[in-house]
């Protein structure tokens, strides 16, 4: 066994034993992100740049078809790999002429909703849906994919439906239970979110999962899919429910702005915006702002009145709606004071 092989064993063992969200190899060091902080993996000791290059070379060995290209290529290389039965999403790029690797550990199975703090009322609502659009939004690293996976797992357990996912990459592997689950990965199974979504419409799905809605074409086709009777899940980068709506509409062209606002107001079923905050005792907790479709709210979205939307969310607690400040108050006893001060405005 090579020295790099043994080093990777140490890294994977560290990832398994800790709440590691990301690993980076660069310029003689291996670092990990623990609960939002960057730490060095001291178990590896002092590494040289050559040592790190050897470890990156072992990553590329699994990508023989493209490994020879990285030496002269300018840009980045994305792929998934498995090390000691642990799956990782990998990005290899250059910095100051040297290769570095950014890696995200991929979970082994989808979580149950209660494991990530999803309200039972929200889970019942989502599993009861047959059509419409469910948006899970938040900043990068806020657990959007995990929340969607938990909701899909809940559907998988109780409904006999066909679920097609389009992901980049596939993170959670689903075992079919009551549902049929077909997972497709961009790059190996389809070329883009938009193309995968268009293809899914010809594959007789009941539920479609779009890993990320990030361009005009995907946003428009997702609305069309929801409007024609499919249940569509998607993630979006935004810092609140109100911003989520604005962000979604911003993705569309001016030509379709009015029509998109009308359709979005009609087909959205749930918009949940979330952030991960530090726990006092270690680890993180998701704080979620939730907006749920209602006839009056449909008109509010179509009018584009943000303050009116906020007021409806405050008044809709019995139906499961919750604004961010109320959600924050419900967990303030367990949230780190620094995060409370930062977000409790």
pLDDT of 45 reads 56
Percent of the residues in the chain that have a pLDDT greater than 90, as a whole number: 61
pLDDT of 67 reads 45
Select from 228, 164, 170, 223 the least CA-distant residue to 199.
Answer: 164
Tell me: pLDDT of 342 over 50: yes
Q: Report the b/e string of 34-68 with b at 16+ CB within 10 A.
A: ebeeeeebeebeebeeebbbbbbebbbeebeeeee
Mean pLDDT of 250-268: 88
The C-alpha R_g of the chain, in whole angstroms, comes to 21
pLDDT of 62 reads 66
pLDDT confidence tier of residue 315, bands split at 50, 70 and 90 = confident
pLDDT tens-digit readout, 279-290: 988 888 999 999
Tell me: pLDDT of 326 over 50: yes
Tell me: pLDDT of 70 over 60: no
pLDDT confidence tier of residue 4, bands split at 50, 70 and 90 = confident
Q: Which residues on neighbouring strands pair with residue 290, listed in sequence order? A: 272, 322
Tell me: pLDDT of 196 over 90: yes
Tell me: pLDDT of 68 over 50: no
Question: Domains plus CATH for the chain?
Answer: 3-105 (3.30.450.90), 113-343 (3.40.50.300)
Tell me: pLDDT of 193 over 50: yes
Mean pLDDT of 204-214: 97
Q: What mean pLDDT is reported for the chain?
A: 89
- Residue 155 contacts residue 207 (beta carbons within 8 Å): yes
Tell me: pLDDT of 298 over 80: yes
Tell me: pLDDT of 69 over 60: no
Residue with tokens 């009551």: 178
pLDDT tens-digit readout, 84-99: 999 998 999 989 888 8
Tell me: pLDDT of 334 over 60: yes
pLDDT of 1 reads 60
pLDDT of 65 reads 46
- Number of Cα atoms under 13 Å in the Cβ half of residue 267: 27
Percent of the residues in the chain that have a pLDDT greater than 70, as a whole number: 94
How far is residue 128's CA from residue 158's CA, in Å, rounded to a whole number? 10
Query: Which contacts (CB < 8 Å, 24+ apart) does range 223-228 have?
Result: 223/133, 223/260, 223/263, 223/264, 223/267, 225/197, 225/200, 225/201, 226/131, 226/132, 226/133, 226/267, 226/268, 227/263, 227/266, 227/267, 228/201
- Residue 158 contacts residue 127 (beta carbons within 8 Å): yes
Residue 240: other Cβ atoms inside 10 A: 20
DSSP 5-20: HHHHHHHHHHHHHTTE
pLDDT tens-digit readout, 17-46: 998 989 999 988 899 998 778 998 866 556
pLDDT confidence tier of residue 238, bands split at 50, 70 and 90 = very high
């Amino acid at each position: 066994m090579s020295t790099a092989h043994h080093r990777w064993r140490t890294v994977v063992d560290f990832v398994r034993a800790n709440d590691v969200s990301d690993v980076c190899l660069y310029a003689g060091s291996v670092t990990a992100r623990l609960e939002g902080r960057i730490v060095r993996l001291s178990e590896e000791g002092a590494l040289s740049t050559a040592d790190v290059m050897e470890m990156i070379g072992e990553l590329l060995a699994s990508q023989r078809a493209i490994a020879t290209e990285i030496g002269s290529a300018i840009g980045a290389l994305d792929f998934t790999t498995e090390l000691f039965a642990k799956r990782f999403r990998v990005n290899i790029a250059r910095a100051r002429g040297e290769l570095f690797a950014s890696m995200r550990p991929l979970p082994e199975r989808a979580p149950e909703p209660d494991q990530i703090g999803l309200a039972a009322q929200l889970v019942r609502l989502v599993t009861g849906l047959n059509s419409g659009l469910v948006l899970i939004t938040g900043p990068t690293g806020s657990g959007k994919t995990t929340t969607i996976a938990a909701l899909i797992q809940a559907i998988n357990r109780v409904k006999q439906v066909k679920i097609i996912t389009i992901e980049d990459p596939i993170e959670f592997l689903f075992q079919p239970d009551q549902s049929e689950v077909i997972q497709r990965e961009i790059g190996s199974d389809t070329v883009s979110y938009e193309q995968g979504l268009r293809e899914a419409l010809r594959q007789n799905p009941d539920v479609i999962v779009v890993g990320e809605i990030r361009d005009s074409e995907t946003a428009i086709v997702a609305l069309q899919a929801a409007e024609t009777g499919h249940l569509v899940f998607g993630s979006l980068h935004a810092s609140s429910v109100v911003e989520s709506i604005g962000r979604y509409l911003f993705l569309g062209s001016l030509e379709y702005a009015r029509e998109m606002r009308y359709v979005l107001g009609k087909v959205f079923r749930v918009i949940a915006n979330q952030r991960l905050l530090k726990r006092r005792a270690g680890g993180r907790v998701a704080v979620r702002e939730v907006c749920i479709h209602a006839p009056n709210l449909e008109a509010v979205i179509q009018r584009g009145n943000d303050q009116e939307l906020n007021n409806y969310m405050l008044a809709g607690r019995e139906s499961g709606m919750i604004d961010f400040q109320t959600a924050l108050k419900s967990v303030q006893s367990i949230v780190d004071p620094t995060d409370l001060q930062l977000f409790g405005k």
